[in-house]
Structure 1
Amino acid sequence: MTSVQPDTQTGYLGGKLLIASPLIGDPRFDRTVIYVCAHDAETAMGLILNRPLTGMRLPDLLEQLDISGGAQAKDGPVLEGGPVDRDRGFVLHTLDVDCGPATERVGSNLGLTATQEILMALASEDAPSRALMALGYAGWGAGQLEDEISLNAWLVAEADHGLIFDDQADEKWARALGKLGVTPEFLTAASGNA
């Protein structure tokens, strides 16, 4: 199995995937796949990619927010991005739409935007070619994510747009493990007590 190392220049995991191991010990993150949007010495922030909110679709949310044309937005799930700031929305999207300083570049051709401008773009003909909407985020304080990784709570893998943006939420955890050459059955069996 190959493991992904932090960026050699920065030592951080921005732009990578975190894959919850059976050792995670926190039901909020059981079998989750998280895209790491930001990671530095003080903090880390990511969005859970495989927890769609029941009964909430993007056009419905945009309509509820009174975004003009929201009902005509490209259909897709709204995700539970994490347990922090659950009433705040984040859009992870390709950079064919850029909202200037409001768009934080977070990986290879990806931006993270949390403004009304990106919501209006999602409801328009000028929507990003690929985007996902998440409510809330996963966050860690200084050294917390590194500690969790050292305790084997998370596996780290390279991110790709197909895994990030497809709607197959129930398959993302196994597919992300597959990027490391691991099957869920092997990982579950390997994590038992001796």
Structure 2
Amino acid sequence: MTAQVISDPPQPGWLTGQMLLAMPALRDPRFSQSVIYICAHNQDGAMGLVLNRMLRKPKFEDLMLQLSVEPNPPQRVLAMGQGGPVEDHRGFVLHSADWVGEGSLNVDGARVLTASMEVLQAVASGGGPEKARLLLGYAGWGSGQLEEEIQQNSWLTAEADDEILFDADCQTKWQRALAKLKIDPGMLSGDAGRA
């Protein structure tokens, strides 16, 4: 896996299916040391899910009860996280492509995004996708905004990795994602360079 360097604005869709890794200089508390999976990127902007912010409440079982999803208690439980600051009441299930429902978005052939009750029902019944995470909210960027943030040295990009995307160890996700790029976080500079 290698970090991508941008010199010219990327083509629409370039970051779809990639991970963003926050640089140490990114001090916004909503994104500091975050790992974000980009679900869509085009000329209108980008949408992604923060992968390393766990939610303590609500619990999956409580949410299923609130949404009247049967059976309750569910036969299977998903790890839940805070997907980002935009529409933080809205749920998204990021999952493997072995299950697809109506309205599911095939992100990159291996991973799918579903925002319907159908996937929650399938999981509660003990089925659904093999790998899945439920995330509330998302991160969004307007047209050209993400490209500008990358040029300002706020983010590194990396190939998506199922272990990073789906495992429940959120405390070390950022460090492990950087390690896959063979980068020591202590050696990263917050200064943007120009050649």
- In the alignment of these two chains, the number of paired residues is 188
Three-state SS of the structure 2 residue aligned to 1:145 is: helix
- TM-score under structure 1 normalisation? 0.89
What secondary structure, in the 3-state scheme, does the structure 2 residue paired with 1:121 have?
helix
Identify which range, 26-35 or 69-78, moves more after superposition: 69-78
1:173-188 matches, cutoff 5 A = 173-187=174-188
Gaps of at least 5 residues in structure 1 are none
Matched to 1:89, the amino acid is G
In structure 2, the CA distance between the partners of 1:108 and 1:178, relative to structure 1 (3 Å rule), is farther
Contact 1:80–1:136 (CA under 8 A) maintained in structure 2: yes
Aligned partner of residue 89 in structure 2, secondary structure: strand
Q: 2-side partners of 1:88 and 1:163: how far apart?
A: 22
1:70 positional shift: 4.3
1:136-155 to 2 correspondences below 5 Å? 136-155=137-156
Q: Report the Cα distance in structure 1 between the residues aligned to 2:155 and 2:75, rounded to whole angstroms.
A: 34
User: What TM-score results when the alignment is normalised by the length of structure 2?
Assistant: 0.89
Which is richer in helix? 1
Equivalent residue number for residue 79 of structure 1: 81
Aligned residue in 2 for 1:159: 160
Task: Give 1:22 shift.
Answer: 1.4
Taking every aligned residue pair, what percent have the same amino acid on both sides?
Answer: 45
For residues 155 and 145 of structure 1, what CA distance do their matches in structure 2 show?
11
Residue in 1 that maps onto 2:32? 30
Distance 2:72 2:187 in 1: 43
Residues 9/150 of structure 1: CA separation in 2 closer, same or farther (3 Å cut): closer
**How far apart are residue 72 of structure 1 and its match?**
2.3
* 1:66-90 CA-partner distances (Å, limit 9, x unpaired): 1102422433431110000011100
Stretches of structure 2 that go unaligned for 5 or more consecutive residues are: none
Contact 2:47 2:141 in 1 (8 A): yes
Check whether the contact 1:60–1:70 (CA below 8 A) recurs between aligned residues: no
Of residues 58-67 and 162-171 in structure 1, the stretch that sits farther from structure 2 once superposed is: 58-67
Partner deviation per Cα, 1:54-113 (whole Å, 9 max, x = no partner)? 23332332222111024224334311100000111000111221113x100012411101
Shift of 1:145: 0.2
Structure 2 counterpart of 1:191: 190
Q: Which residue of 1 aligns with 2:17?
A: 15
Q: Give me the whole-angstrom Cα distance separating, in 2, the residues matched to 1:75 and 1:125.
A: 9
* SS of 1:53 mapped into structure 2: coil
